[in-house]
């Protein structure tokens, strides 16, 4: 072997070693002549504005989704774990250490919570209300302020439309991975306006959102995976009338 051919061989070995390190460190190919968008749905090659438009369209048309994480609004943190579809939703919300369940089927909204939640009731209800409502599915009257407040957590289109907006000038921020799925990340105002990881596999669904201003981080999964919504039994349900105790 000549000195020249030995040099070429040595360079090839070094390049191969570097390639292995790149692949191992990032979890996907970002160098070595490989196209990071090869075998994907192609949205990684689009502009950030187009990616955001397509992911919002995909989210609106999805038949179901699971949403989990924290949302900070008006200085208050809500931890959500909701499964949503157009006709209803089921899941839980936690705020200030108190958890409650939500179930919506069509226009019927039920709230299920322990005595600790209802013990904050005002007026003459007090602990007697807590005992009656503890662990029951309480039907929320549509005219009650709680209906408007809590039904937003169960409305797929309203919730996603409000959450998936990034603020400021949009840009792409490289290829990443979320729960084993390759993603393209888009940012608003270089991240200060939020970041969104969009799936590069299948439909361009949003998979992870970091909201602007530290207003929470959410993950999205189980896209298009149906789930059952069942009316609670009569022995599990309490109809409190036209208005719930204030909580």
Task: Give the residue extent of every domain in the chain.
Answer: 1-34, 43-60+162-221, 71-160+231-239
Using pLDDT thresholds of 50, 70 and 90, give the confidence band for residue 79: very high
Whether the CB-CB separation of 55 and 205 falls below 8 Å is answered with: yes
pLDDT > 70? residue 32? no
Q: What is the pLDDT of residue 24?
A: 39
Q: Please report how the helices 48-61 and 156-163 are oriented relative to each other, as an axis angle in degrees rounded to 10.
A: 170
Output the pTM of the full model: 0.82
Helices (H), the chain: 3-26, 48-61, 115-118, 126-133, 145-151, 156-163
Q: For the segment 127-176, what is each residue's pLDDT rounded down to a tens digit?
A: 566 777 888 999 999 888 888 889 999 999 999 998 999 999 999 999 99
Angle at 165 between CA 87 and CA 215, to 5 degrees: 95
Helices vs strands, H then E, count in the chain: 6, 12
Q: Lowest mean pLDDT: which of 52-56, 110-114, 128-132?
A: 128-132
């Amino acid at each position: 072997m000549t000195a020249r051919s030995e040099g070429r061989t040595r360079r090839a070995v070094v390049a191969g070693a570097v390639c292995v390190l790149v692949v191992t460190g990032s979890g996907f190919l970002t160098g070595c002549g490989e196209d990071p968008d090869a075998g994907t749905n192609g949205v990684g090659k689009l502009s950030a504005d187009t990616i955001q438009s397509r992911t919002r369209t995909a989210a609106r048309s999805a038949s179901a989704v699971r949403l989990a994480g924290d949302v900070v609004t008006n200085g208050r943190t809500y931890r959500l774990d909701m499964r949503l579809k157009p006709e209803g939703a089921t899941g839980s919300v936690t705020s200030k250490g108190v958890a409650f369940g939500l179930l919506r089927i069509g226009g019927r909204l039920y709230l299920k919570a322990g005595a600790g939640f209802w013990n904050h009731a005002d007026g003459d209800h007090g602990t007697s209300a807590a005992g009656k409502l503890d662990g029951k599915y309480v039907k929320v009257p549509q005219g009650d302020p709680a209906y408007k407040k809590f039904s937003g957590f169960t409305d797929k289109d309203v919730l996603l439309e409000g959450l998936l907006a990034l603020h400021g000038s949009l840009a792409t921020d490289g290829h990443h991975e979320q729960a084993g799925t390759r993603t393209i990340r888009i940012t608003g105002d270089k991240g200060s306006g939020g970041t969104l990881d969009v799936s590069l596999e299948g439909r361009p669904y949003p998979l992870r959102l970091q909201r602007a201003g530290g207003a929470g981080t959410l993950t999205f999964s189980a896209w298009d995976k149906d789930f059952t919504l069942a009316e609670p039994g009569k022995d599990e349900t309490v109809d409190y009338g036209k208005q719930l105790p204030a909580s």
